Chains A and B, each alone.
Chain A
Amino acid sequence: MGILSSSRERSRLSKLQSQLQAEPRPHGLAQLARDYLALGDGAAAREVLEFAKALFPESEELNRVSNLFISGETLSRLSSLKEQARRTGTAQAYLELAEAYQQLGNQEQQISTLRQMLELFAENCSALAQLGTVRFERFLSSLAATDGQAAESLLVRAISADVEALKPRFVLADLYFRVGAIRRAGEVLEGLLALSPGHERALRMRARVDEIPPEEQDPLEDFRSLLNQVEERRQLMHPAPPWEARAPAEKGIRELVEVPGAEMERLKEQTGARCALVLSGAGTLVNINATDDLERMSRSLSALCHRTARGMQLGAAAGLMVEGAGGSLVMELKHETVMSLVLDRTRDARSAAVAARDSLERLSRGAP
């Protein structure tokens, strides 16, 4: 690309960036980041990805672009880190290698490196804390009690391995808070703040703990039964990160009955769907030409998808696509919300799935 055309492209992308900041859409932001990467502007691509991932953390397309971006930087480092771990065999070398795998999104290799490290160096706090954090993140997505229990056990072991470590205490307090074990979260935070009184995110989390009146707290705080409740309800007791700075309250999808109608009309038109449906735990939010059969099938297939994903330890189910000789069914899932589209065989189910995922992200964020 010549200097002139490169400058024109940069100017076009800059305008597009302003538009997308005013009206963010995951697909548009992912494309913008790709364009910046194609232009060789890694810093701008990073800025766009950071902005986009904060708004749409579960967008598959954004995750893919982000992985692509990180992969380029990290892959070149990976081989030297492997060699370093093999040659020096130090705990630090293994930790750096595990972090590189984490950046590449290769969780299996990250876990395998950390386990190898634990075999070599016994109860290493950093390895246990990383493993505990991975399991905690998995729990936030799967809501499976076994993930929550494993996270707690690893984080407690990390704290025992190094009583002055801050990170495992912070993640453990976060875990306790999200499942509703408020007293336990408070106790862990006390310990953390005694070690580091100015820890900003811990201070914010303690402020949240202090806000919860005793009558709203579970007096027994049996951690296992709290985890089981989360798994059964498919919902965390306190879903928002307790350490985040306060932002205006996000609208729930149930409060947006009018808006999903417009969003779904737009989606139906965009994808050429025969009919469209949005269901929530409370009932049907939008029904555009959908039959009772589709409603019934959407509910039973969504439950089946969640069961299957959990049974195969794949975390939370996010979507189902059934392609048939006469058309296709596209379902996007997020917690209790199900979005279904039925398409004729001439329509592209895969691009409809991408568009439906975008719409679901927007609806659950309350974007108009």
Chain B
Amino acid sequence: MKAVIHELKDRVGVRGALVMIKDGVVVAADLCDELDDDSVAALAAAVVSQTVEAAELLGLAQATRITLTASFGRLVFIPFDQLMLVVVTEPGLDLELTMLEIAGPARRILELSKLTMPV
């Protein structure tokens, strides 16, 4: 999983990525120097738990992707069964391009998560 995360970080406009268990425990991470793995995981856990709850309440069914855009960066959260992928990207990057860069590694993490964490 670490190899996939490192590969993801090398993609255009990606500042870093981590895989975590949904309660905030980091499984693998490769973030830029300014970001701390545990702090990012803690914030991500809060975002995902609230948005997943909101999605269910609003009849959107299970959230498959959450994107938070800010002035200096963008966060993409992709929840899997027990795991979650968090990707930090540059702000100016086109959203379609961001998703394209993330899609392949996300699929591989999903496959790995099925191998390592059967539900």
Contacts and interface: CB of A to CB of B under 8 A. Distances in A.
Contact of A324 (B47, B62, B96): B62
A33 to B, nearest CB: 15
Interface in A93-120: 105, 107-108
Contacts of A300: 50, 54
A201 interface: no
A146 interface: no
A324 B95 CA distance: 17
A66 to B, nearest CB: 9
Contacts of B55: 322, 324, 329
A320 interface: yes
Contact of B67 (A107, A293, A308, A321): A321
Contacts of B71: 138, 141-142, 309, 314-316, 318
Contacts of A138: 71-72
Interface residues of B, number: 36
Nearest to A353: B95
Contacts of A325: 60-62, 64
27 contacts: A60-B69, A63-B92, A141-B71, A291-B58, A293-B57, A297-B54, A301-B50, A305-B70, A308-B68, A312-B75, A312-B88, A313-B34, A313-B35, A313-B72, A314-B72, A315-B70, A318-B71, A321-B65, A322-B51, A322-B63, A323-B64, A324-B60, A325-B62, A325-B64, A326-B61, A342-B58, A353-B95
Contacts of B91: 60, 314
Interface string B20-58: 000000000000101100011001001100110011011
A328 B60 contact: yes
A321 B59 contact: no
A291 B57 CA distance: 11
Contacts of A311: 39, 43
B86 to A, nearest CB: 10
Interface string A295-312: 001001100110111011
Nearest to B57: A293
The secondary-structure label for the interface of chain B is mixed
Nearest to A350: B95
A313 B71 CA distance: 10
Interface of B: 32, 34-35, 39-40, 43, 46-47, 50-51, 54-55, 57-73, 75, 88, 91-92, 94-96
Given A107-B72, A319-B68, A322-B51, A350 B61 contact: no
Contacts of B73: 312, 314-315
Contacts of B57: 293, 297
Nearest to A304: B50
B30 to A, nearest CB: 16
Nearest to A326: B61
A317 interface: yes
Query: Across chains A and B, which 10 residue pairs bring their CB atoms closest together, nearest first?
Result: A315-B71, A324-B60, A326-B61, A309-B70, A314-B70, A325-B61, A314-B73, A315-B72, A141-B71, A319-B69
A142 B70 CA distance: 9
A152 to B, nearest CB: 20
B72 to A, nearest CB: 4
A122 to B, nearest CB: 24
Most buried by B among A105, A311, A314: A314
A108 B73 CA distance: 12
A97 B84 CA distance: 39
A207 B70 CA distance: 34
Interface string A239-263: 0000000000000000000000000
A235 interface: no
A322 B53 CA distance: 11
